[in-house]
Amino acid sequence: MDKSIHSAQYTSFLTLLKAARIERNITQVQLAQRLQETQVFVSKCERGERRLDIVETLRWCQALGISLTELAQQLENC
């Protein structure tokens, strides 16, 4: 199994997270505040420069108001 942050599936995952943020009209700065992180952290994650683990992904989902299950289902459909 490919664990690279450059895999097509990981790219789809990041696209889904970014789309969820944009659909909710949340800026990177606002998301960073909700995560108690910096805007640079959010930007690096969205660009794939920093890999998110499952716990961080759960925090992102909570900050965006979506369930981890919903995100996983969307990823399965990509």
Q: What does each of the 78 residues of the chain score in pLDDT, given as a tens digit?
A: 555 657 889 999 999 999 999 999 999 999 999 999 999 999 999 999 999 999 999 999 999 999 999 999 999 998
Question: Which amino acid would we find at residue 8?
Answer: A
**Which pLDDT value is given to residue 78?**
87
Confirm whether 48 is domain-assigned: yes
**Domain containing 46: what range?**
8-73
- Sign for the CA dihedral angle at 66, 74, 38, 27 comes to negative
Confirm whether 78 is domain-assigned: no
**Which pLDDT value is given to residue 74?**
95
Q: How many domains does the chain have?
A: 1
CATH number (domain holding residue 54): 1.10.260.40
Confirm whether 49 is domain-assigned: yes
Confirm whether 2 is domain-assigned: no
